[in-house]
Structure formats: C-alpha cells, structure tokens
Amino acid sequence: MLTKNEPAENEPKETSRLEAFSDGVFAIAITLLVLELIETLHTQTNDGLMQLFVTHWQSFLAYIIGFITILVCWINHHVALEYIKKIDTNFFWINGFLLFVVTLTPFSTAILAEYLEKESRTALAIFGFNYILISIAADSICTYACNHHLIEEKHREFYASYKIIYRYAIFYNIVAFLLCFVSITVPIILYVILFAAFAAPKAFAARLQKIKDRKKKKIKRTNHTPGK
C-alpha cells in the first residue's frame, strides 16, 4: 500500500495533521471521562452532597485511573512520534488502531466505575484487556516505524529500545490480564508498576539502551582482548 510514485515534499505536513488529529482524540477521550462523574449527580439527588462522594467512590477512583491511563498513552504516543519524520497510509491505520483503543478507554473506565463492587474481577479483566490492546498498538507503531525507515538513521538504534519495551509490555499485560481471574491485588500491583515504568518512556528506553551498550562493550572486550 506504500505509495512511492508521488512527490515527497509534502511529508512534514502529513505528520503534523496526524498529530493534530491524534491530539484531538486523546484530549476528547480524557475529557469525556468527566461525563460519567457528572452522571453520578443525576442518578442520586436525595442524599446529601458529601454522601455522594462516599457512595460513588468507585466512580472517582475509575476517573483517576482512566485519566492516568490516557495521559500515559498520550505521553508514549508523543515520544514514539517525536522521531518519525515521514508517514505512509499504512501508518494511518496502525495509528488509527491505537486511537480506537484510546476511544474505548472511557467505556472501560465506565465499566470499572459501575462494576468494581459487583463484579470486580470481570471489570478489572476488561480494563486489563484494554491495556493488552494499547500495548499491541504501541508495539505496532514502533515496529512499523523502525522496519519501514520512517525515522532518521541516526536515531534508529535508540528507537529500537522503544520497540523492545512495548513488546515486553504486551506479554506483561497478558500475564496481568490472566491474573485478574484469580486475584485482585496482584494485577493491581502489576498495573501500578506498569504505570510507573511507562510514565517516562524516554528515560525507560534510555536506561535499557545503556544496559545494551554496556553488554556490547563487554562482548567487544571479551572478543577483542586476545586479538589486540
């Protein structure tokens, strides 16, 4: 589907519109979460105002979780697209899949808010399934950008670290998802660790890069010592 037969000078413009559209989707998805919070005001108006915060604590917790999830997604999307200079039609679709999962997040958050007490495991598993989809989308973006030379050659090695962290995240999320059917606390702890790691994807990837560099040097040294 790659289109190579038309002029290339328009390509920087392409990235900016993709970013503007994606930013719009992220911004709306993160702000729509509040509608579910406002909904709680309409369902129950007989009790006192402070009582509302007590009865609907799951809505508030879900709101915070949903907000952080989409914010982490946006930060990672920002970082992943930073080095991408040109895009093609396939990339629109891979990015579109990520946006699809992002727009689903307010729905998963609403499920969390309404079923956290009644069916806590299923509700958590659905949210966990959302995370699996997010990590698959993030991995697809990085892998495609890497393999199709959408990023500048000098940044490619650093970028490969992103690819690795998102690939690992898929397996991590599958494990956390399966644990949802057995326990509640274990997957929650796993998700908190996940948040902490992907809160600063650049630093995370840079740390990984350093470890790789050190390993390489070691291998180089062990290979070269007899020769030199």
Crossing angle between the packed helical segments 185-198 and 156-179, to the nearest 10 degrees: 170
Distances (CA, A) of 139 to 58, 87, 176: 31, 16, 17
Q: Is 168 in the site for its own copies (CB under 8 A)?
A: no
**Residue 106, Cα to own-chain centre: how many angstroms?**
14
Q: Count residues contacting its own copies (CB under 8 A)?
A: 75
Residue 86 interacts with its own copies (CB under 8 A): yes or no: no
Please, what is the minimum distance in Å from the beta carbon of residue 105 to its own copies? 8
189 is a site residue for its own copies (CB under 8 A): no
CB-count exposure of residue 165 (10 Å: 0-12, 13-18, 19+) = buried
Residues 45-84 that bind its own copies (CB under 8 A): 45, 48-50, 67, 71, 74-75, 78, 82-83
Contacts of 133 (CB under 8 A, 6+ apart): 101, 104
If one asks whether residue 184 binds its own copies (CB under 8 A), the answer comes out as no
Q: Of 115, 129, 168, 195, which one interacts with its own copies (CB under 8 A)?
A: 115
- Please state the closest distance from residue 55 (CB atom) to its own copies, in A: 14
Binding segment for its own copies among 8-16, 142-150, 167-175, 184-192 (CB under 8 A)? Answer: 8-16
Q: How far apart are the first and last CA of the chain?
A: 50
